[in-house]
Amino acid sequence: MSVRLILLLSHALFALGVYGVLTRRHAIGLLLSIELILNAAALNFVLFSRAFGHVEAQAFALFIIALAACEAVVGLAIVIGLARHAHTVFADQVDLLKG
């Protein structure tokens, strides 16, 4: 596949992720959309590291995968906490704090 095509794919992934964040209401749907954005960045790093023959960028992609997993762990823990204390997992029902 050409560089151009993969770039198109990664940008489409990024746009999909941002669209998902703006439209989803379910907390887990929001986390999934954010995951798409992270993967778009990881794809970019892998693509460019191949293009430049740059090893460090591949390590960067691996770190992104690991950190995305950490973020999912913390995110799901927080969603469980929310379900316990607020009895909801919908972001638009999280409305106690405002002003």
Binding site for other proteins (CB under 8 A): 10, 14, 17-18, 21, 27, 30-31, 34, 37-38, 40-42, 44-45, 47-48, 51-52, 54-57, 59-60, 63-64, 67, 70-71, 74-75, 77-79, 81-82, 84-86, 91, 94, 96-99
Rounded to the nearest whole angstrom, what is the least distance from the CB of residue 23 to other proteins in the complex? 13
- Residue ranges of alpha helices (H) inside the chain are 3-23, 27-52, 55-86
Least Cα distance to 47 among 16, 11, 81, 77 occurs for 11
Rounded to the nearest whole angstrom, what is the least distance from the CB of residue 68 to other proteins in the complex? 9
Q: Give the span between the Cα atoms of 42 and 37, in whole angstroms.
A: 9
Token digits of residue 89: 């997992």
Rounded to the nearest whole angstrom, what is the least distance from the CB of residue 95 to other proteins in the complex? 8
